[in-house]
């Protein structure tokens, strides 16, 4: 298989940054709500939480399937793992937490910064999504210029190539690789009027550090059914120790009632 008519990686990142920067213009004077989401919001849609017991992810060693070293060592195993995850995503549906966040767009400018590689925010209807760690439904070539393609739930294999003839790989930011969109994520977080964190352990950097660049005075919410150890010294921080499907609709209602 040789894919055609992809967009370059530079175009992919540029389009995401352009969308985010539109929110920074503040043409309509609505408050800016920035939401950081992690695996906990998608777990209730049936998608596995990244950090399982003993460093395993649905039976796979994380270091072997989610790192650039793992790819260089055994690309076939990495491809197999993401093919399985892509197939599982086809059966998943956005849950009430994903859907509740869409409601905010009626009253606020909203940016979702997600550590998740699924497309449940898009399918729920959210407009501006920054995928820090890539997208499961996309693949790209491994040789420059890197071309990105959307393949939905289709599998890839060793020997499948981009339009320039280089092997396809998952469009995922692995351990050992830079996070290109962290800069625009930081820029938009710096000027947020309200900041919400949903279902993240605060263990994966640089995303975990975004809360540290928020303005001291703004309202901050953290929703997680197993509340992680939170960084100290933050004002106006409210914790909701509930599953995302319950806690997020409560937070959305609170934000609309108090800040719209």
98 is a catalytic site residue: no
Q: Given 3-state DSSP classes, what are the helix, strand and coil percentages for the chain, each rounded to the nearest 5? A: 40, 20, 40
Tokens 């999504």 correspond to: 129
How far is CA 14 from each of CA 134, 206, 254, rounded to the nearest angstrom? Answer: 14, 20, 34
Whether 175 contacts 204, CB under 8 Å = no
Tokens 């070293």 correspond to: 69
Whether 168 contacts 7, CB under 8 Å = no
How far is CA 11 from each of CA 6, 16, 78, 121, 126, rounded to the nearest angstrom? Answer: 10, 9, 25, 21, 21
Whether 236 contacts 196, CB under 8 Å = no
Residue among 38, 94, 88 at smallest CA distance from 58? 88
Catalytic choice (98, 121, 131, 133): 133
How far is CA 217 from each of CA 133, 190, 223, 233, 236, rounded to the nearest angstrom? Answer: 29, 12, 19, 12, 7
Secondary structure in 3-state letters for 55-102: HEECCEEHHHHCEHHHHHHCHHHHHHHHHHHHHHHHCCCCCHHHHHHH
Whether 24 contacts 111, CB under 8 Å = no
Tokens of 199: 């279902």
Report, as residue numbers or ranges, the catalytic residues.
133
């Amino acid at each position: 298989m040789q894919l055609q008519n992809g967009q370059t990686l530079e175009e992919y990142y540029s389009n995401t940054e352009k969308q985010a920067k539109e929110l920074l213009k503040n043409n309509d004077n609505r408050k800016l709500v920035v939401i950081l989401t992690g695996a906990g919001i998608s777990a209730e849609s049936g998608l596995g939480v990244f950090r399982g017991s003993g460093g395993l992810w649905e039976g796979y060693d994380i270091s072997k399937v989610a790192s650039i070293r793992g790819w260089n060592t055994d690309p076939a195993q990495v491809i197999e793992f993401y093919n399985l995850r892509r197939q599982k995503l086809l059966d998943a549906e956005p849950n009430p937490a994903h859907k509740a966040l869409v409601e905010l767009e009626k009253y606020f400018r909203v940016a979702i910064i997600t550590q998740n590689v699924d497309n449940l925010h898009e399918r729920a209807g959210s407009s501006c999504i920054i995928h820090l760690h890539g997208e499961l439904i996309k693949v790209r070539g491994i040789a420059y210029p890197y071309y990105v393609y959307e393949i939905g739930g289709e599998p890839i294999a060793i020997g499948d190539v981009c339009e320039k003839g280089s092997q396809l790989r998952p469009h995922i930011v692995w351990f050992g690789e830079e996070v290109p969109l962290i800069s625009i994520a930081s820029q938009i977080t710096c000027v947020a009027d309200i900041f919400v964190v949903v279902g993240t352990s605060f263990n994966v950097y640089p995303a975990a550090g975004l809360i540290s660049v928020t303005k001291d005075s703004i309202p901050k919410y953290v929703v997680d059914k197993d509340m992680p150890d939170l960084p100290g010294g933050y004002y106006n921080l409210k914790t909701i120790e509930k599953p995302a499907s319950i806690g997020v609709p409560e937070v959305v209602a609170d934000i609309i009632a108090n800040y719209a």
